[in-house]
Amino acid sequence: MQRLRVRYAKRGRLRFTSHRDISRAVERAVRRAGIPVAYSAGFSPHPKISYAGAAPTGVASEAEYLEIGVTTPSDPAQVRQSLDESLPSGLDVLDVVEAGPGGLADRLEASEWEVRLPGADRELAEVAAEKFFAAGTVEVERLTKKGPRRFDARQAVLGLEVSEGTDRTAAQVGGRPCVILRMVVRHMTPAVRPDDVLTGLRLVADFAPPVPPEVTRLAQGPLDVSTGALADPLDLDRDVTRGGEAGPAGEHVAG
Amino acid sequence: MPVESIFHRLEALLPKVQKPIQYVGGELNSTVKDWDSADVRWALMYPDAYEVGLPNQGVAILYEILNELPGTLAERTYAVWPDLEALMRAEGVPQFTVDAHRPVRAFDVLGVSFSTELGYTNMLTALDLAGIPLLAVDRGEDDPIVLAGGHAAFNPEPIADFLDAAVLGDGEQISIAITEVIREWKAEGRPGGRDELLMRLAESGGVYVPKFYDVEYHDDGRIKRVAPNRPDVPWRVHKHTVMDLDEWPYPKKPLVPLAETVHERFSVEIFRGCTRGCRFCQAGMITRPVRERSITTIGAMVDNGIKQSGFNEVGLLSLSSADHSEIADVAKGLADRYEGTNTSLSLPSTRVDAFNIDLANEFSRNGRRSGLTFAPEGGSERMRKVINKMVTEEDLIRTVTTAYSQGWRQVKLYFMCGLPTEQDEDVLGIADLAKKVIKAGREATGSRDIRCTVSIGGFVPKPHTPFQWAGQADHETVDRRLKALRDALRGDKEYGRAIGYRYHDGKPSIVEGLLSRGDRRIGAVIRNVWEDGGRFDGWSEHFSYERWMAAAEKAGVDVDWYTTREREENEVLPWDHLDAGLDREWLWQDWQEAVSGGEVEDCRWTPCYDCGVCPTMGTEIQIGPTGRKLLPLTVV
């Protein structure tokens, strides 16, 4: 069975899709696109589509990954086009490669996040980021399905930059200035998410943005610990299957 | 002037609410048109949560038909949950459409489709959030025409004060006709304002404008008469019937939601109307006559729908799907076509006979045989004669035994409690029936691994049915019988564990009864409930019987008078001026027959018994067989 690895984006208003919503949408799109998806055997067959670490509901992403098993060998470029056309606009297929050896999930070691904070104060944000970094650990609490859970939000964060820009959703009505945080966060258990880092900033420096943040995952993949940079996780598949044809790994679409 | 999207304001609220995806639109096959490309604009509302409203066929069909019409646009809006409602009020965000997030008040028409009366309070929330005055008389030139449709609109009197207009029956053609009346009136520069537009609609006899009718009452509270208060307004308003459904093969572009909804499938209506004559069934009375879609149209719609949507389940809908004249060929043809494709077929609403098992076997050819559902509705033979559901105990046992012996493991049986003339033993008869079903099933299969679930709800007398005169059973009686039935089922050592029991208590049925057969004086009750926080009354976790009773008391309304009171033959009923085509004398005669145990056959196969619909409405029965077969298609 051939396996195809897909990088897709979750953009704009479709960032409010939950993981379950996306999996239903993908199953339907696969059928509409006529992709020869394999089904599991047994009493109620399911299409063989698996997902690696989905971004939370409400968080946009430029780097989500899934894997499709197909019954007849398919051209990745063609699948990329037909699947993208069959998905609603906002769930956009960016890259498809044939899977090489090794699991995809293992390569997703860290994520780069962008957090836009409309109306927040830049200086306060910078002070908070410094204090956060200076701290050895920052214990935060989050409500999980198993109840409230306390964990350290500091160790997983490898980089935290503060800059300025305009908030993207309100851009159509003029755009408000906002503080932009960029962070590289290592995938750990329990997962440290951007909102945990924001909780941490509030705890160390009383930094609290006035409105809900707009969060986007920009990339995820293998982590170079010395530089804090992320590589394209599909490069390894490309090296094996087609001698390294470049994909749109660096493409960060704003919208 | 283009109307601005409110999405950026809504977006800031979405991270704080449950299931935000339901508010963002963007469904596959949804349509967004330029505001200025249209001169007539409809907002279509299903007054319940998105997960219930999105799959609604009525709204989906009108949405598509109106958007196909040049110079016309239609968008959808749904009830928002209380969490978002509170945020919208705090931030001043108005009721919006999910397609382009335009404010509902900017549209020409707000069309609300009522499948059930329990959506009335949700309409008030939407009007209020939209900034549209609740009462029709308070609305101005900038407010949309608030128009009700759907089955509950066959008695819109309880919401008459909140409506500008209502339409009875099939919406396909009348929605186009209304659009053209509005277009003409706007092109002429809106002469005479809102009132003249409503007059133009009312004059046609096809649109009911409540404020052009006055209701007079007797001293004892009964209605004296309902009369037009202007010349040129007709005394009666008639329902609409679409003939030749093959000409209207909608939906052609099924909406595919991102959010999870109650029906995750592509649905094709294989026929409209039903003449089985079940006396409790409002749908079967008001949608006459039977009009079938041909086997070839059904085949083409299924093929197109699957390709357009990517759904892996197809539902063949109607009021009694096994009654299609070529259902066997439809079932076999579709099962052949989709064998081995992981596309499943379902046939809701089937009757109790062995033929159905053959159909179900066909539909489950490459799937599992888990559960079959039948609806005997009444627990005793006598009760089933009263409601004209002609199923004998032998039929039922034979059918169910066949199902078990062909590999079906679970049978679900639907019943009603509180039917006219019902006694305790009629309901307890359900327990005997269920035990016999299990006994026969065990004998036929030699296995104890079979189950039967009894599902039972309270009966509500509905307008335009032979039971429209009946006294509704009070909730104490219904609850007492439901409890006795539960004890009879659970207490049985031999069969009790093989029988499941699901029931709804009697109180919500009383509120539904009040709204179903209410008149204009019930509007104050609805408003009181809404002002007291009543929302989503169709959801048990939001419904409050006490709130409804307090609201009725405050409005000076005697709930028993509207619900448990039996009506006399010549009492003017609140909906008598609204014409579903049924001859009132025939309905009364059928009510008398019910009490004396007389049965009525289906007019598709026996001579006409003069219910009145076809001659009044200029319609006729349209059924096959066509003799055609489904051709195999190449399925991807």
Contact B311 A57 (CB under 8 A): no
Whole-number pLDDT of residue A252: 43
* Integer angstrom CA distances of residue B489 from A101, B443, B452: 59, 20, 11
Whole-number pLDDT of residue B366: 62
Give the residue from chain B lying closest to A90, CA to CA: B26
Nearest chain B CA: its distance from A93 CA (Å): 16
Nearest chain B CA: its distance from A56 CA (Å): 11
Whole-number pLDDT of residue A145: 80
Do residue B234 and residue B289 come from a single domain? Answer: no
Contact B258 A88 (CB under 8 A): yes
Whole-number pLDDT of residue A172: 46
| Contact yes or no for A131/A160 (Cβ under 8 A) | no
Q: How many CB atoms lie within 10 A of CB B16?
A: 13
Interface of A with B in 137-176 (CB under 8 A): 169-170, 172-173
Nearest chain B CA: its distance from A167 CA (Å): 11
- Domain assignment present for residue B519? The answer is no
Q: Measured between alpha carbons, how far is B377 from B387 in angstroms, rounded to an integer?
A: 8
Q: Does A255 touch chain B (CB under 8 A)?
A: no
- Which parts of chain B register pLDDT below 50? 635-636
Do residue B287 and residue B148 come from a single domain? Answer: no
* Residue pairs between chains A and B whose CB atoms are closer than 8 Å: 74
pLDDT above 60 for A171: no
Return the higher-pLDDT residue of A166 and B336: B336
Q: Does A119 touch chain B (CB under 8 A)?
A: no
pTM over 0.90? The answer is yes
Q: Give the number of C-alpha atoms closer than 13 A to the C-alpha of residue B169, restricted to the C-beta side.
A: 26
Q: Does A229 touch chain B (CB under 8 A)?
A: no
Whole-number pLDDT of residue B226: 98
CATH code, domain with B199: 3.40.50.280
Which of A13, A29, A212 is opposite residue B24, by nearest beta carbon? Answer: A13
Q: List CB contacts of A181: < 8 A, sequence separation 6 or more.
A: A113, A114, A115, A117, A125, A129, A160, A161, A162, A194, A197
> What residues does each domain of chain A span?
2-105+233-241, 110-221
pLDDT above 50 for A254: no
Give the residue from chain A lying closest to B303, CA to CA: A32
Contact A32 B15 (CB under 8 A): no
- Domain assignment present for residue B468? The answer is no
Whole-number pLDDT of residue A242: 55
pLDDT digit string, tens, across residues B469-524? 999 999 999 999 999 999 999 999 999 999 999 999 999 999 999 999 999 999 99
Do residue B229 and residue B269 come from a single domain? Answer: no
Do residue B329 and residue B233 come from a single domain? Answer: no
pLDDT digit string, tens, across residues B400-456? 888 898 888 899 999 999 999 999 999 999 999 999 999 999 999 999 999 999 999
ipTM of predicted assembly, 2 dp: 0.87
Fold entry, domain A110-221? Alpha-Beta Plaits (3.30.70)
Contact B27 A88 (CB under 8 A): yes
Share of chain A above pLDDT 90, in %: 74
Do residue B190 and residue B279 come from a single domain? Answer: no
* Integer angstrom CA distances of residue B67 from B71, B225, B240, B266, B458: 9, 40, 21, 20, 40
Helix (H) or strand (E) holding B372: strand B371-377
pLDDT digit string, tens, across residues A86-141? 999 999 999 999 999 999 999 999 999 999 998 899 999 999 999 999 998 999 99
CATH code, domain with B359: 3.30.750.210
Whole-number pLDDT of residue B367: 66
Do residue B73 and residue B190 come from a single domain? Answer: yes
- Alpha-helical runs (H) found in A116-160: 122-134
Do residue B59 and residue B208 come from a single domain? Answer: yes
Contact A212 B636 (CB under 8 A): no
CATH class of A2-105+233-241: alpha beta
Topology alike, domains A2-105+233-241 and A110-221: yes
Q: How many domains does chain B have?
A: 2
Pairing of strands B313-317, B266-269: parallel
Whole-number pLDDT of residue A255: 34
pLDDT above 80 for A30: yes
Give the residue from chain A lying closest to B311, CA to CA: A28
Token pair belonging to B550: 């307090």
Q: Measured between alpha carbons, how far is A241 from A253 in angstroms, rounded to an integer?
A: 27
**Residue B214 sits in which domain range?**
7-238
Which of B15, B26, B311 is opposite residue A212, by nearest beta carbon? Answer: B15
Mean pLDDT of chain A: 89
State mean pLDDT over A29-37. Answer: 95
Whole-number pLDDT of residue B288: 96
Coil, helix or strand at residue B519? coil
Sheet (strand B266-269) strand order: B266-269, B313-317, B344-346
- Domain assignment present for residue B281? The answer is yes
Whole-number pLDDT of residue A169: 55
Do residue B281 and residue B209 come from a single domain? Answer: no
pLDDT digit string, tens, across residues A194-244? 999 999 999 999 999 888 899 999 999 999 988 889 999 999 999 776 544
Do residue B93 and residue B169 come from a single domain? Answer: yes
Partners of B27 on chain A (C-beta within 8 Å) are: 88
- Domain assignment present for residue B125? The answer is yes
Q: Does A242 touch chain B (CB under 8 A)?
A: no
Q: Does A230 touch chain B (CB under 8 A)?
A: no
Interface of A with B in 28-57 (CB under 8 A): 28-32, 34, 39, 43-45, 47, 57
Contact B25 A173 (CB under 8 A): no
Give the residue from chain A lying closest to B100, CA to CA: A13
